[in-house]
Amino acid sequence: MGKKRYCIVGASSRGRAMYAHQMVKAPYNEYCEIVGIYDTNPGRAQALSSACGNFPVYATFYQMIKEAKPDAVIITTMDKFHEEYAVKAMEMGCDAIVEKPMCITLDQARRILDAKERTGRHVTTTFNMRYMPYKLKVKELLMSGIIGEIENVTFEWNLIYAGHGTSYFRRWHALMENSGGLLLTKAAHHFDIANWFVDSYPAKITAFGKLDRYGKNGSFRDIIGGDTPAEHCHECPHKDTCKLYVDTTKGQLYFPHMQYDGYTDDCCVFRKDVDIYDSASVNVLYENGVTMAYTLNANAPYEGWRIAFNGTKGRLEAGEIMTGAEDLVTFGRDVVRVMNYKEGTKEFPVEAFNDAHGGGDQRLLLDLLNPTGDDPYYQRATAVDGAASVLIGALANESIAQGGKVIDVTERLGRELRSYL
């Protein structure tokens, strides 16, 4: 069988590091060929092509698909555009491989599911977390029945303040219309693994969220005295006083190409139009009766997460601290703990992987490009899986906007999500 042909839309950091740079190298290049790239920023598209063997750069998405004739399109643009390209790709006869989140609203999710049904094409949502050895160990243990039937889940995710957490407020993610907020652009990962772990789809959702530290709440304007802040750190007169000032001007991805669209990764985190939440809590009732309480906090002193499953035979706890809190004595990353009512507590060791995203990226990419064998742990995420995680985030946003209203997924979608399977 010949190599599969792929086009990439979105010469993003992700398009570059996860896909283009890897796909031109062994072992991946044995299975694939990149036959085109399109990005609204021609400078970034050209730079990516030049760095990865000079595959063709196209002036429009339409022209790329017409001329390059790919088997599949890899979509790594800003989240807001995932749906548009996924639907166009399918309508032009290609499969769609969509970075998470698959899209950012319920209407977009419905359009992708409808297009998939209409065209018969395949949609993959690339959830690398399902491929991280640590999370896979959790899935394996849950599937083994070690804690019996899961009854409820508590799940907490923390992003480090002034680091990864703040980074979402420096770029396009800071606007709901671009990213759907952290409950989509970030938590899509978390909702997907939660759905995968409990082996069900969401039935009802309720949520609260708020913005405490960024945008108009920032202390910056208070310190300076009510001035409108500069739009970007590199042009800001308050570099010496702002605690969240960054200098990213030496980076190669954005600054060299800002002449085309003005996009840089140093937007002021206190600009007034920031409208996403920096903390949120979401409650989910699953179709199988499991309940989940989830929290997200972008202003934490460390980067990490914890999950606990209570089941009919015991409890499973897992979690990691990735950055910060080095002095904190905790378990994580290398062990999953199970407390069984009859057999007592056992710790299950997991080998630690320091390569991209806890070992998830390389394993996902290989399985994506060369899907051999069965999928015993259901790691290959479908359009319905992609939609399930989007629906939790999007309906949580709707619930927050309505003061915490409980939203029924089937009622809002207009049909059962699993009817798209």
* Strands 95-99, 202-210: pairing kind: unpaired
CB 142 within 8 A of CB 165: no
The verdict on 195 binding ligand NAD (CB under 6 A) reads no
Q: How far is the CB of 305 from ligand NAD (least distance, A)?
A: 14
The verdict on 13 binding ligand NAD (CB under 6 A) reads yes
The verdict on 41 binding ligand NAD (CB under 6 A) reads yes
Those residues with Cβ within 8 angstroms of residue 194's Cβ, 6 or more apart along the chain or in another chain: 153, 155, 284, 292, 294, 307
Distance CA 139, CA 378 (A): 10
* Single residue of 128, 200, 389, 397 touching ligand NAD by CB under 6 A: 128
Q: Where do runs of H (alpha helix) occur along 74-159?
A: 82-91, 106-119, 133-144
The verdict on 46 binding ligand NAD (CB under 6 A) reads no
Site string for ligand NAD, 92-121 (x = CB under 6 A): -------xx---------------------
The verdict on 48 binding ligand NAD (CB under 6 A) reads no
The verdict on 206 binding ligand NAD (CB under 6 A) reads no
Query: Position 402: which residue type?
Result: Q
User: Which is nearer to ligand NAD, 81 or 191 (by Cβ)?
Assistant: 81
The verdict on 332 binding ligand NAD (CB under 6 A) reads no
The verdict on 11 binding ligand NAD (CB under 6 A) reads yes
Q: What is the DSSP letter of 29?
A: G
- Cα 200–chain centre separation: 19
Phi-psi region of 402 (alpha: psi -120 to 50; beta: other; left: phi over 0): alpha
Q: How far is the CB of 99 from ligand NAD (least distance, A)?
A: 4
Binding part of the chain for ligand NAD, among 71-79, 138-146, 207-215, 316-324 by CB under 6 A, reads 71-79
Distance CA 386, CA 132 (A): 18
The verdict on 76 binding ligand NAD (CB under 6 A) reads yes
Which parts of this chain interact with ligand NAD (CB under 6 A)?
Answer: 9-14, 39-41, 44, 76-79, 81, 99-100, 128, 171, 185, 357
